[in-house]
Amino acid sequence: MKTVQRLLAFVGLLSLSALFIYALQDAPTDENFEKKLINDYNVYALQVPEDLNFAGEPMPLKSPDILERMDRELLVNTYWQSNGLLMFKRAKKYFPIIEPILKKHGIPDDFKYLAVIESGLTNAVSPAGARGVWQIMKTTGRENGLEINDNVDERYHLEKATEVACKYLLRSKKRLGSWTLAAAAYNAGTAGVSRKLREQKVSNYYDLLLIEETGRYIFRIVALKEILSNPAKYGFNFREKDLYENIPTYKVEIDTAVTDFSQFAQNFGINYKILKLHNPWLRESHLNNKSKKLYTIDIPKKGYYDVQ
């Protein structure tokens, strides 16, 4: 009982401290940006929309199992506010790069949200060794034409990695028959999903019993699609200037070795850090390039970085 009393007292102190901190914070003052008391915070149950779909394929939300699973992902991602705001910020920067490549290959636009749940639109590294925004494994990357070695890892090249993801998804769609199953196969493998369908004698994702990660996969994608498409509906408030911008660049072609990328960067008025930010696929401070391959390097236009 004393433990409970001490816990309640501690929670009370935290609440008073939080209110004091909130009171010192100023609400945004930009015109048309809604002012809200920062400590006026409530948690609400969410109403799952009745017409959710992935890539135009409806979710069977009349099934209580499907409804509960969708509700879970909407709740988790709505109330993980810091992560949600970061997704809005990064989407503004990276979706304009991803969207035209998906369109070129005839891939539904909804697949850009697959990249969101795979990596949070960062160059993440998974415990299994998948890398980049699209979380491509080394074998898959090489099979689809990416260069992966000590000097260069094109899984970190957003445009080229998106091309590889498109190829994989098109093959999965052709084999499995639906975009929903193709998306699930991106997580569990085309052969793995095909085997589960055969073993369980069903024909669609929503009838499959899967491991938790794959079982949540489509629901997470659709939840992020719904939230990122309707920020105000889910309580996310921001201004256009709060979102991240993609810094414009120009391209420099090289077909020789580079012994020192720090000096290379300085030749273009930037430093090594900025060079790597715009070319994360360059993995070392030099480039051997014994084959005289032609590489294209992105250099940010002048005026965006304050380089000493």
Domains of the chain, by residue range, sit at 1-41, 53-242, 249-300
Asked if residues 22 and 36 have their Cβ atoms less than 8 Å apart, the reply is no
191, 236, 240, 247, 305 from 37: Cα distances, Å: 52, 14, 21, 34, 36
User: Which of the four pLDDT bands, split at 50, 70 and 90, describes residue 306?
Assistant: confident
User: Which of the four pLDDT bands, split at 50, 70 and 90, describes residue 27?
Assistant: very low
N- to C-terminal Cα separation, the chain: 61
Asked if residues 87 and 78 have their Cβ atoms less than 8 Å apart, the reply is no
For residue 15, pLDDT beyond 60: no
pLDDT per position as a tens digit, 278-290:
999 999 999 999 9
Confidence at residue 105, expressed as pLDDT on a 0 to 100 scale: 98
| Mean pLDDT of all residues in 99-120 | 98
Confidence at residue 42, expressed as pLDDT on a 0 to 100 scale: 83
The class that CATH gives domain 53-242 is: mainly alpha
Q: Give the chain's count of helices (H) and strands (E).
A: 11, 4
pLDDT per position as a tens digit, 115-135:
999 999 999 999 999 999 999
Between strands 53-54 and 295-300, the pairing is unpaired
Least confident range of 23-37, 59-73, 109-123, 152-166: 23-37
For residue 5, pLDDT beyond 60: no
Angstrom distance (rounded) from CA 237 to CA 15:
24
Asked if residues 178 and 205 have their Cβ atoms less than 8 Å apart, the reply is yes
For residue 197, pLDDT beyond 70: yes
Asked if residues 288 and 257 have their Cβ atoms less than 8 Å apart, the reply is yes
Confidence at residue 21, expressed as pLDDT on a 0 to 100 scale: 32
E runs forming strands in the chain: 53-54, 57-58, 249-254, 295-300
Asked if residues 184 and 214 have their Cβ atoms less than 8 Å apart, the reply is yes
Angstrom distance (rounded) from CA 121 to CA 151:
23
Mean pLDDT value across the chain: 90
For residue 304, pLDDT beyond 50: yes
Confidence at residue 23, expressed as pLDDT on a 0 to 100 scale: 33
Confidence at residue 39, expressed as pLDDT on a 0 to 100 scale: 52
| Mean pLDDT of all residues in 29-51 | 70
Question: 87: which 2 tokens?
Answer: 């997704």
Confidence at residue 308, expressed as pLDDT on a 0 to 100 scale: 64
For residue 13, pLDDT beyond 80: no
Nearest to 93 by CA among 62, 130, 71, 120: 120
Count how many residues are written for the chain.
Answer: 308
Angstrom distance (rounded) from CA 223 to CA 49:
11
pLDDT per position as a tens digit, 178-192:
999 999 999 999 999
| Mean pLDDT of all residues in 251-271 | 97
Query: SS in 3 state form for 205-274?
Result: HHHCCCCHHHHHHHHHHHHHHHHHHCCHHHCCCCCHHHCCCCCCEEEEEECCCECCHHHHHHCCCCCHHH
What sign does the dihedral 14-19-25-29 (CA atoms) show? positive
Query: SS in 3 state form for 95-140?
Result: HHHHHHHHHHCCCCHHHHHHHHHHHCCCCCECCCCCECCCCECHHH
For residue 251, pLDDT beyond 80: yes
| Mean pLDDT of all residues in 135-162 | 97
Angstrom distance (rounded) from CA 35 to CA 53:
33
Contacts of 223 (CB under 8 A, 6+ apart): 70, 73, 74, 76, 77
Task: Please report, rounded to a whole number, the percentage of residues in the chain having pLDDT higher than 70.
Answer: 87
50-86 core/surface letters (b: 16 or more CB in 10 A; e: else): eebebbebebebeeeebeebbbebbbebbeeeeebbe
Q: Say which residue, 303 or 213, is predicted with more confidence.
A: 213
Q: Say which residue, 14 or 12, is predicted with more confidence.
A: 12
3-state class (DSSP) for residue 296: strand
Confidence at residue 40, expressed as pLDDT on a 0 to 100 scale: 59
Q: Say which residue, 67 or 13, is predicted with more confidence.
A: 67
> Residue 49 carries which DSSP code?
P
